[in-house]
Amino acid sequence: MNLSTNSTIENLQRSEDKFRRLVEGLSQTHCVFSHTPEGVFTYASPGFKTVFGFEAEEFIGRNWRELKFSQESMAAGNTSDELITSTGKFQCVELLYKHPSGEDRIIRIIYGPVSENGQLVAMEGVCEDVTLSRRIQDDLQKSEGRYRSIVQILTAGVWEYNSQTSLLWCSEEYFAMLGYSSADLHINGRLDVFSGWVNLLHPEDKEAAAKKFFDHVAAKDPGFYDNRFRLRRKDGSYVAIWARGKIIADRNGSLSDVTVGIHVDVSEHIQQVQRLHESEQRHREIFNATSEAIFIHDLSFRLLDVNETAVKMYGYPDKETMLACNLEELSAGFKPYGVCEARHNVEALLRGEKKQFEWMCRRFSGELFPTEVALSHSRIGGDERIIAVVRDISEKKKFIESAQRADKLESLGILAGGIAHDFNNLLGGIYGFLELALCTDQSPETRKCLGACITTMGRARSLTQQLLTFARGGTPDCRAQNLMPFVEDTVRFALSGSNVSCAFEIEEGLSAGNYDRNQLGQVVENIVINAVQAMKESGGSLRVALRNRSFVENEHPDLVAGRYVQISFKDSGPGINESILKQIYDPFFSTRPGGHGLGLATSYSIIRNHGGCIDVNTEVGAGTTFCVIIPASEKALLQGETEDVTQHRGHGIVIVMDDEIVIREVLIKNLESFGYTVVTAANGEEVLTMLQDRIIDKERIAAMLFDLTVPGGMGGIDALATIRSMGLMAPAFVMSGY
């Protein structure tokens, strides 16, 4: 019996020792305690020092109330008296404790009563310092709250995907972005990657987008997942999404099964980019469609961009080749069109001066051409840029030169016309009397001398006629006529006796021209004779080509829109030097000894009065080409007329009015030879007086010949108007020295 008792005592002691070692071996952050119902400690484990700051042995026999718990904790109901007197089940409380070190610590206490025979004999429990874990928990809660606020502020939807479970977690913003509620996409209370994402992908994006995401996850790619696709909204429309995510790594850097990321609605951004692209495209089209060349360069004159018009205007093969050029290659390169002058213009622009000037430019072929340049200063992308708008004014220059030439010719024409008019009147009288003398004198010697005089007078009359044609072009009697064989016959006649060969090239279906046969013949002769003179020393060839042309408005500076016929004369002569090219249409300008310089001037006036023009292209050493352009006929061709060569005879009175006596006398002689009675007057007033005073029998008047203009008196037009008002309707003819 004693042995059994002793054995039981030993077993209890061993059990107590084992549990004591177990308790004392607990972490230093835990303390096991026991105290009497009055709160006097009877046991405390070594962790008491760590938790409360006192040695366990030091506090045995002392009361629980001596520990300094915060009054705030006690006010909340967790008082130390409750720990002493509580009965019933074990409880867990957390109290704020003032540690001897001065720190506030949070102590978690799990305790309960120990009873024997229904009487409370002790209180036992475990204390733990949870200050650190509580702070970590608070920090985590704050961090979670902070990130949740960020997620709510963001317009992006946040998601988390677990590759092991295929489950997907999405923020409320994710669902709101698509117009769904969370319940709309959950299946059986679960939201997996298919119901929450894959099944919402646009059919065109689905395969590629899903493959890219799952490949990234399967490969455990440590980099960022980045993708773009479209997701279906609840209303059936689609939203453009930019997705970005990353696989989460643990503390050791190993990648987990969880991927987190965001979905951002970029629909508006894409629309803005598209609008920006469309705007840029519109401006690019305008940039390229303008008729002016546009250059954009920096302050060091490095070309940054040009439009298509610039490439075409300067004749470059492509834009890249042109951008590789410098300013000197695009300019004439000599003063005042060099880099130095260009820099001065830019400096003036930067000072605020308005810069618009003329500039001589150089094409890819080396040809120089005049331009008008307008400079502007701008900032593009934050950088200073110079924008040059360049307009080709070659045609404008030609138009100005043509207008100046026309003005000069008109002024000279007025002078030449006045001289020719008076001279022609004198020649008319002399020529008339010579012909009368030739008809009345039958002496061979006299007739020979008179014939020589008439020939000489014919040359003088021809010169006068050229002056008149130059002065006013001689109003052309234009008719619809074929140009061939008229042009060929005229050319071959002008080449007679020369050492110049000729070839013709006629376009099939050549239109008829609307021209005065005599005047155009004079133009053809003048141009051919000039070509013969240019090739006189060694001979050469002349190629004449006839073809149809048509021009739109403003295509040619001297022509209106319409159909034309062009006659070109290309010789193999030495060409015309550029220094005299602008003078070739000037009257009395000639490079040939003895030349009177009226040929091309007259031709220019004739063709201009036809509604056409003459263009010239020449190259020293390669010959010259004159292009005569006249309107094509829109009317039916006139049938050829036969000339009646029967000698005229008549009777009645013919009234002759001219201020030149010699003209009146010549007409009297000629008209009387035809059988008419001639009555003369010096001006219109005399004619009207004779009619009003019945000096002339109106019934016998067969015709009236009136001078067009009478210096200081009534001319033919005014006189005829009054006569018609008097009821006299006899045929009337108007004459002029012009």
Q: Which is more confidently placed, 460 or 511? A: 511
| pLDDT tens for each residue of 40-95 | 999 888 888 888 888 888 889 998 888 888 765 544 444 555 555 555 577 888 88
**Residue 469, pLDDT score:** 59
First to last CA, the chain: 175
Q: Are the beta carbons of 650 and 676 closer than 8 angstroms?
A: yes
Among 95-104, 227-236, 250-259, 507-516, the least confident range: 250-259
- Name the residue with higher pLDDT: 16 or 604: 604
What share of the chain in percent tops pLDDT 90?
18
Residue pLDDT, tens place only, 436-458: 676 666 677 777 777 767 666 66
Polymer length of the chain: 738
110 pLDDT tier (thresholds 50, 70, 90): confident
Q: In whole angstroms, how large is the CA radius of gyration of the chain?
A: 59
Give percent helix, percent strand, percent coil of the chain, each to the nearest 5: 40, 30, 30
Q: Distance between CA 558 and CA 364 in Å, rounded?
A: 28
Of the pLDDT bands very low, low, confident and very high (cuts 50, 70, 90), residue 592 is: low
User: For position 74, what pLDDT does the model report?
Assistant: 44
3-state secondary structure labels for all residues of 246-257: EEEECCCCCEEE
pLDDT of residue 76: 42
pLDDT of 632 reads 93
Largest Cα span, the chain: 204
Give 512's pLDDT tier (boundaries 50, 70, 90).
Answer: very high
pLDDT at 414: 56
- Going by C-alpha positions, the residue among 714, 689, 691, 688 that lies closest to residue 701 is 691
- Identify the pLDDT of residue 534: 84
Reported as a single tens digit per residue, the pLDDT across 719-731 is 999 988 988 888 9
> Residue 336, preceding bond cis, omega within 30 degrees?
yes
Confidence grade of residue 287 (pLDDT, cut at 50, 70, 90): confident
Whole-number percent of the chain with pLDDT over 70:
78
Reported confidence tier of residue 407, pLDDT bands at 50, 70, 90: low
Q: Residues 436, 439, 442, 445: is their CA dihedral positive or negative?
A: positive
Q: How far is the C-alpha of 720 from the C-alpha of 158, rounded, in Å? A: 105
Specify the range with the lowest mean pLDDT, choosing from 11-15, 105-109, 361-365, 632-636: 11-15
Q: Domains in the chain, start-ordered, CATH in brackets?
A: 2-135 (3.30.450.20), 154-271 (3.30.450.20), 290-392 (3.30.450.20), 397-471 (1.10.287), 473-631 (3.30.565.10), 653-735 (3.40.50.2300)
- For the ranges 9-18, 447-456, 532-541, which has the lowest average pLDDT? 9-18
Residues 6+ apart with CB under 8 A from 592: 533
* Residue 542 main-chain phi, psi, to 5 deg: -130, 125
pLDDT tens for 116-151 read 887 888 888 888 888 888 888 877 777 776 666 665
Quick one: pLDDT at residue 573?
A: 87
Angstrom distance (rounded) from CA 722 to CA 732: 13
Least confident interval from 47-61, 426-440, 496-510, 631-645? 631-645
* Cis peptide preceding 370, ω within 30 of 0: no
Which pLDDT belongs to residue 39? 86
Q: Residue 658 corresponds to which tokens in the numbers above?
A: 């001219």
Residue 28 pLDDT > 80: no
| HEC profile of 87-135 | CCCCEEEEEEEECCCCCEEEEEEEEEEEEECCEEEEEEEEEEECHHHHH
CA torsion through residues 415, 416, 417, 423, sign:
positive
Q: Indicate the range of 23-27, 49-53, 395-399, 667-671 predicted with least confidence.
A: 23-27
The structure tokens 């008339």 sit at 432
DSSP-assigned letters across all residues of 40-79:
BEEEE-TTHHHHHSS-HHHHTTSBGGGS-B-HHHHHTT--
Looking at the predicted structure, is the pLDDT value of residue 507 above 50?
yes
Q: Confidence band (pLDDT; 50, 70, 90) for 496?
A: confident
Range 549-571 average pLDDT: 91
pLDDT value at residue 84: 54
What is the H or E stretch that residue 469 is in?
Answer: helix 444-472
> Of 59, 34, 21, nearest to 125 (Cα)?
34
Report, as an integer, the average pLDDT of 538-544.
88
* DSSP, res 179: T
Give one DSSP letter per residue of 337-386, joined into a string: SSHHHHHHHHHHHHTT---EEEEEEE-TTS-EEEEEEEEEEEEETTEEEE
The rounded mean pLDDT for the chain is 81
Minimum mean pLDDT range among 254-268, 460-474, 607-621, 651-665: 460-474
Express each pLDDT in 231-254 by its tens digit: 999 999 999 999 999 998 877 778
